Amino acid sequence: MSKFHRQTDRQTDRQNNYDLLRIIAALAVICNHTTDYYICHPQENDLWFSCVVWSLVSVAVPIFFMLSGAFLISNDKNADCRYFYKHSLGKLGIPLLVFTIFYISWYVGISLVKMALGKEGIVGIVSVAKYIVTGWHGHPLWFMYTLLGIYCFIPLLVRIRKYTTVNCFRKYGAIFSLWCVISFLDINIGTSWNIGLVACYMGYVVSGYILYDLLLSKKNNFVAAICLICALLIGAGNGMMLYEYVLATGELRNVWVSSAGAPLMVIEAVLVFVGFAFIRIKINLFRLSVLTFPVYLIHKFVLEVLQKAKCEIWQWNSFWGILISVFCTFILSLLLAWMYLKIYSVLRK
């Protein structure tokens, strides 16, 4: 066997363990945005629970970047810029355009209604424009903007991977990933396509491929369970530190505890990814997995509609509130995502 990376179509095969990870990551993102509300509106002693849950599910976005790296960098065909960007148009470009227009219309519409009721001036529409342009955190569009920047480098990474020895790519990839994590602690983020932000998350992208390639043929449910249990314990511990920080300052964001580059957050994300890499699953989850991307893009709209409708969910304690709101948001988002893909497939014909 050559010491260089094998050219193979293995990456085109659906792998049930990673499909399951996508589904769980989509649920985790919804849970993360739901929990934001309970941290900002704590009820009695529920704050600690909300902080722990928030910390446990915040690895979802890093996991999505790791999954992107695993399957994009492992595909030799993506070394061809023309091939890669042609296929990326339908996968990323069109959804980005559709949902950018959708959310602009949604937020501008809300601002116009508020203006008509005298609750808001022109500054509301200006704020919407600013948010859309910068791709503010806590909203699905920022992930799309950052992913767009990462896609610019995928053909280059695939070429480097193809013409470098396996060990060399892993060593330099590990060093690069560490540098990206360190960069998280020092970067001043202005926009989601900020080259510094793209570089930071690129560490997860490269790490995702390295772990995927390293553990491709390894399956052991016991090892998977150990990794996932350790991830849960680390996430819970990080959540308690976040609770102390929120309690002391009233703020949620802290680079050492709640950012994607926080040391414990990185370890948790790696353990979750490794855990699922070891899982052996026979159930085919492809049909549900393909819906996770549009679910991610749609869920924020569904969640905001539920919040604006003043549903009784938000008056419940954090445990039942988070559980029920995540379930309702996921089911409704799943339905809308299915409708979106059906309409998209018809229009493509």
Say what the pLDDT of residue 210 is: 95
d(CA 107, CA 84): 33
Range of weakest confidence among 27-41, 114-128, 145-159, 327-341: 114-128
CA 240 from chain centre, in angstroms, equals 22
Whether the CB-CB separation of 147 and 72 falls below 8 Å is answered with: no
Range of weakest confidence among 30-34, 267-271, 332-336: 30-34
**Is the C-alpha dihedral spanning 49, 324, 66, 221 positive or negative?**
positive
Residue-wise pLDDT tens digits, 92-112: 988 988 988 888 888 888 888
Residue type, 167: N
Average of per-residue pLDDT across 21-32:
95
Whether the CB-CB separation of 348 and 49 falls below 8 Å is answered with: no
d(CA 205, CA 160): 14
Strand, helix or coil at 341?
helix
In this prediction, residue 342 has a pLDDT band, given cuts at 50, 70 and 90, of very high
Residue 81: HSE in the Cβ half-sphere, 13 Å Cα cutoff: 3
Task: Spell out the residues 6+ positions from residue 200 whose beta carbon is closer than 8 angstroms to its own.
Answer: 180, 181, 183, 184, 187, 260, 261
DSSP result, 7-46: P-SGGGS--HHHHHHHHHHHHHHHHHHHHHHHHHS--TT-
Residue-wise pLDDT tens digits, 59-93: 999 999 999 999 999 999 999 999 999 988 888 98
DSSP result, 299-331: HHHHHHHHHHTT-GGGGS-HHHHHHHHHHHHHH
Strand, helix or coil at 165?
strand
In this prediction, residue 58 has a pLDDT band, given cuts at 50, 70 and 90, of very high
Task: Spell out the residues 6+ positions from residue 301 whose beta carbon is closer than 8 angstroms to its own.
Answer: 102, 103, 106
The model's pTM: 0.89
Say what the pLDDT of residue 127 is: 74
**Would you mind telling me the total number of residues written for the chain in this entry?**
349
- How would you class 81 by CB atoms within 10 Å of its CB: exposed for 0-12, middle for 13-18, buried for 19 or more? middle
Q: What is the mean pLDDT of the chain?
A: 84
Average of per-residue pLDDT across 19-33:
94
Average of per-residue pLDDT across 294-298:
94
DSSP result, 99-128: HHHHHHHHHHHHHHHHHHTTS--THHHHHH
Say what the pLDDT of residue 189 is: 61
- How would you class 40 by CB atoms within 10 Å of its CB: exposed for 0-12, middle for 13-18, buried for 19 or more? exposed
Range of weakest confidence among 10-19, 223-232, 271-280: 10-19
Residue type, 300: K
- How would you class 242 by CB atoms within 10 Å of its CB: exposed for 0-12, middle for 13-18, buried for 19 or more? buried
Strand, helix or coil at 4?
strand
Q: Look at residue 24 and tell me whether its pLDDT is greater than 60.
A: yes
Q: Which two tokens stand for residue 246?
A: 């929120």
